[in-house]
Amino acid sequence: MNFLLDEVARATLRLAEAGVDSPRTDAEELAAFVHGVRRGELHQVADADFDALYWECVARRAAREPLQHITGRAYFRYLELAVGPGVFTPRPETEIMVDWAIETLRAMDVADPVVVDLGTGSGAIAISIAQEVPRSRVHAVELDPGALAWAERNIDATGHGERVTAHHADMRTALAELDGRVDMVVSNPPYVPTGQAGTVPPEVRDHDPAPALWAGADGLDLIRGLEAVGRRLLRPGGAMAIEHGDGQGIDIPPLFPEERGWRDVRNRKDLARRDRFVAMRRADD
């Protein structure tokens, strides 16, 4: 048996015993990272090339340090992003909301759509939209200066600096100069109730920045504020999408009532058929 693959099997058992959700995948990703290959190429690594650094990385992961902090990279749609301490690690489930946003923008009769990403973090949402919607102009808003530095790094590294502009600002008051001119607002805001800290995995609780996680007793404090922000920024007929947590889908649509000019407010599901984000439109004049 290939020695490296044998080591990966041992690492898988160690990570499983530590409570890691995806021990085999993480063991392989760490091996690929250490040896500078893709996961599917591990069989090409010769026994003589085994690097003892691998077990240092496994130990860090067994201590529940996020995989992405160890490798310094996170994959999101068609992007490889730099991540680490101080920035929220983008999650695969957010890709579903971004897919909806991209398809909605493509269907709009707008030559140069203006998009605002509120709470951009690593820049995953903003950069994906810029990359996949030609001629879009995306404004990425982030209050945390540490997270903003990661977003700016990723914007530059992916070559989208001409169409993605990073803003150091509070999402609740940002971009007054764009009031009534925005075609799409999208946000993955903080939405974890403060009382649920004990149920949050240590990779999240101990490593993602607190401002990106906690949002009051019911987790909806920031989302309540986004109703006024969307109403301010969006043009008539513009669209908005907001990610939320499990069990919150029933509480969010009433925050965007028809009498305030919202239409087509509905929950959208992720691949596991769970409510994942709420999408809505501003009424036409």
- Provide the CATH number for the domain around residue 262: 3.40.50.150
pLDDT at 48 over 60: no
Inside any domain, residue 252:
yes
pLDDT at 226: 96
Q: Are residues 23 and 116 both part of a single domain?
A: no
State pLDDT tens for residues 185-215.
999 999 999 888 888 899 999 999 999 999 9
State pLDDT tens for residues 73-101.
999 999 999 999 999 999 999 999 999 99
Mark the binding-site residues, compressed into ranges: 119-123, 142, 188-191
Q: Are residues 162 and 273 both part of a single domain?
A: yes
Alpha helix segments (H runs only) across 133-235: 145-157, 202-205, 221-233
Q: Are residues 162 and 122 both part of a single domain?
A: yes
Residue 20 belongs to domain spanning: 3-63
The answer to whether 71 touches 102, Cβ cutoff 8 Å, is no
Give every CB contact of residue 103 below 8 A, 6+ residues apart in sequence: none
Inside any domain, residue 68:
no
Alpha helix segments (H runs only) across the chain: 3-17, 23-35, 53-62, 67-71, 94-107, 124-132, 145-157, 202-205, 221-233
Helices 23-35, 3-17: crossing angle, 10 deg rounding: 130
Mark the binding-site residues for S-adenosyl-L-methionine, compressed into ranges: 119-123, 142, 188
pLDDT at 52: 79
Mark the binding-site residues for substrate, compressed into ranges: 188-191
